[in-house]
Chain A
């Protein structure tokens, strides 16, 4: 059973001739590509901010961050990492709290800022698996201990199944 359906990374570019683009999605693109870019990296997005929106009836949570310029003469880029959740049994605010912890840890470690295209796929895959299997995420030197975060913050990601309640009466 999956908590999250997808991890997506988009970026603005900011060099001559660039436009907002989809860097990658794991395991697959969800919804219309243009809409996905639009929702993941919305108008007015600035580094260090979170957004939540809906896409194709699902929740999309996004965090916008800075990426180091590839060359000295270029400016830093603006990018965003998003997760998409369709499961109605997921408490979206609880998932948001978890996602914020993950994004913050990665940003504070400098991993998001230093990110190179070769690391994108790895990062999306590890986050996808880490969250869905509730296990530690290891990216470069950063370890994000998902079970620990859930425990420390008393997160209840899943809504209690109605049947469980019924059984109790």
Chain B
């Protein structure tokens, strides 16, 4: 179960993911399904993935991006409701080629009245193109009715927003991105703080009571039963709310929950578990800067 499965509404629709090879289509789809980065091989022609939401089915067609597969896009688009066009914003040298493909599919999208979501992926890569460069590079000012978002399927940046947008375009139902936390901190499994992110509107800083740090220390010394299992403890804070503290193989994470967030403690637990799951699979043994970077990007899904 992933935090993205919290968006539960009825629907029955097909979406087609297209764009040049290596733009990140398959990685994005896997991230939406699993809540974390998954590394894999190029797509042979096409892949069909489904998510069941309240007994109905969303099918996502992951189309191969290589030259010889691009004709397949049109066939699948005929029965789709929504087209997700993925751009690799870290590969501006391929913008002309990507733009040419984009302009080939645009008439079909408009003729069939399909919804169009453009995802500018690989936002994590330093020096990637800006939104302005993309809008210019693809002549987007001339295009009617589309949405564009920056995401990273590697760090998770913007993925929950992208999913809400994708979902509303596909089903016509508006869903709000949820807030799962007032603050999130990540520590090494030895209890050394790495980074804290907080809701700037609400806090200047999260007051840490003595007992909380003691709980982290205690957690860091506890033996985990299995290697992979994430364990949780709750710590009631007098000043702030409830701290959910979780420990995975390499990290300890804490998340500040309070009633006004509008989600349940269990939902926030899942969100924290997803964050640790992502860190474990993407940067378990990386240096502190890399971990901080991933946390900063991933918390865009949580708060």
Contact = CB atoms under 8 A, between A and B. Distances in A.
A19 B46 CA distance: 14
B41 A42 contact: no
Interface in A56-76: 64, 66, 75-76
Contacts of A77: 41-42
Given A13-B66, A43-B46, A44-B47, A76 B41 contact: yes
B22 interface: yes
Given A75-B39, A76-B39, A20 B22 contact: no
Nearest to B26: A75
B44 A78 contact: yes
Interface string B21-54: 1100000000000000001111011110000000
Interface residues on B, range: 10 to 19
B22 A14 contact: yes
Considering residues A12, A15, A42, which has the most beta carbons from chain B within 10 angstroms of its beta carbon?
A12
Contacts of A44: 44-47
A43 B21 contact: no
B94 interface: yes
Interface in A24-61: 41-47
Contacts of B40: 75-76
Given A75-B22, A75-B39, A16 B45 contact: no
A18 interface: yes
B145 interface: no
A15 B44 CA distance: 13
Contacts of B289: none
B239 interface: no
Given A47-B41, A76-B41, A78-B42, A14 B21 contact: yes
B68 interface: yes
A14 B41 contact: yes
Interface in B31-88: 39-42, 44-47, 66-68, 72
Nearest to A74: B22
A139 B66 CA distance: 32
Contacts of B39: 75-76
Nearest to A67: B41
B67 A12 contact: no
B81 to A, nearest CB: 22
B8 to A, nearest CB: 28
B44 A16 contact: no
A66 B41 CA distance: 7
A76 B72 CA distance: 23
A20 B47 contact: no
A15 B67 CA distance: 11
A46 B47 contact: yes
Contact of B42 (A14, A17, A42, A43): A14
Contacts of B72: 43
Contacts of B47: 44, 46
Considering residues B40, B46, B94, which has the most beta carbons from chain A within 10 angstroms of its beta carbon?
B40
Interface of A: 12-20, 41-47, 64, 66, 75-78
Given A14-B22, A75-B40, 13 more contacts: A13-B42, A14-B21, A14-B42, A19-B68, A20-B66, A20-B68, A42-B44, A45-B45, A64-B44, A75-B42, A76-B41, A78-B42, A78-B44
Q: What 6 A-B pairs are tightest by C-beta distance, nearest first?
A: A14-B42, A43-B45, A78-B41, A45-B44, A19-B68, A76-B41
22 contacts: A12-B41, A15-B22, A16-B21, A16-B22, A17-B67, A19-B67, A19-B68, A20-B66, A42-B45, A43-B46, A44-B44, A44-B47, A45-B45, A64-B44, A66-B41, A75-B22, A75-B39, A75-B40, A76-B39, A76-B40, A77-B41, A77-B42
